[in-house]
Amino acid sequence: MTPGQPVLEAVGIAKEYGSVRALSGVDIRVFPGRVTCLLGDNGAGKSTLIKILAGVVRPDVGTLQVDGEAVTFRSPAEALDRGVATVYQDLALVPIMSVYRNFFIGREPCKGWGPLRRLDVRFAKRVAHEQLRRVGVDLDDVTRPVESLSGGQRQAVAIAKAVYFGARVLILDEPTSALGVREAGMVLRYIGEARKQGIGIVLVTHNTHHAHAVGDHFVVLKRGAVLGSFNAGEVTVEELSTLMAGGAEELERLAERASTPDGPHLLHEHDVLGGHGA
């Protein structure tokens, strides 16, 4: 079991959209310096859950806690104030703008007073370069436009920016999606560097190989419910893939393992599939 107190915990989260039950009784815990992988195919409920964690959507039922204290996020700004930052697939970067300007967009460091107040370019460049190096990117020229960077490097800018501005929990929405093997490997390395800095990471992905490479804990969602919850070493990448695909034999075998005192927590298939919307 993971020692210590979670920095972020969601308990009994449920959300419905009309007749569609997007989430039902979902629990997830995020610990400092550990990567929690949230896995599931399209329609599993991953997007709804991260929107709740990020303060975009409020749950119908359930609670959120930060450092053991109950919280209610009414907006992404409130989540950020408590150190919960989300990096979505679009990264929220301006392609034609330089790396260092993107790093500080909306939070520009300035010097001088009154009408002489201006952007502290030297400080902004230095910090952007240093923070990128902390996640493993040695970018020699931070005046380059973001559009000139590779997909992996753009992810690094978004990750380093979130960490610099105080993220204690970093939610990454499909960060390796549409990237090649080499670029995806770079992003996984950046995630590892952020973990070393004590950041609690939620890696949202449908790629079990990428999750298994960096994950400390795995939560598999199916049709809005937790199908299985495993620590690293309790489940193979093949078992995770089979669970996501809904293999009945794998569900039964893992359920037998879960019945042992040290086995992973696993719900039976009828508990997950029964009574849920499409």
What does the pLDDT read at residue 77?
92
Look up tokens 């996501």; give the residue: 244
What is the three-class DSSP state of 123? Answer: helix
Give the residue-averaged pLDDT of 55-77: 94
pLDDT band at 71 (very low <50, low <70, confident <90, very high): very high
CA-based nearest residue to 155, from 203, 107, 213:
203
pLDDT band at 194 (very low <50, low <70, confident <90, very high): very high
What does the pLDDT read at residue 265?
56
pLDDT band at 3 (very low <50, low <70, confident <90, very high): low
What does the pLDDT read at residue 245?
80
Phi/psi at 15 (5° precision): -150, 130
For the chain, how many helices (H) and strands (E)?
Answer: 10, 13
Residue 271 has pLDDT above 50, yes or no: no
Residue 272 has pLDDT above 50, yes or no: no
Strands in 79-184 per DSSP E: 84-87, 110-111, 118-119, 169-173
- Under CATH, which number does the domain 8-94+165-198+206-273 receive? 3.40.50.300
* Angle, vertex CA 47, rays to CA 41 and CA 52, nearest 5: 145
Give the residue-averaged pLDDT of 209-219: 94
pLDDT tens string 109-151: 888 787 778 889 999 999 999 999 988 888 889 999 999 998 8
What does the pLDDT read at residue 276?
35
Domain-wise residue ranges, the chain = 8-94+165-198+206-273
pLDDT tens string 84-97: 999 988 778 899 99
Look up tokens 């009945």; give the residue: 248
Q: How many CB atoms lie within 10 A of CB 90?
A: 8
Residue 16 has pLDDT above 90, yes or no: yes
Residue 261 has pLDDT above 70, yes or no: no
What does the pLDDT read at residue 263?
58
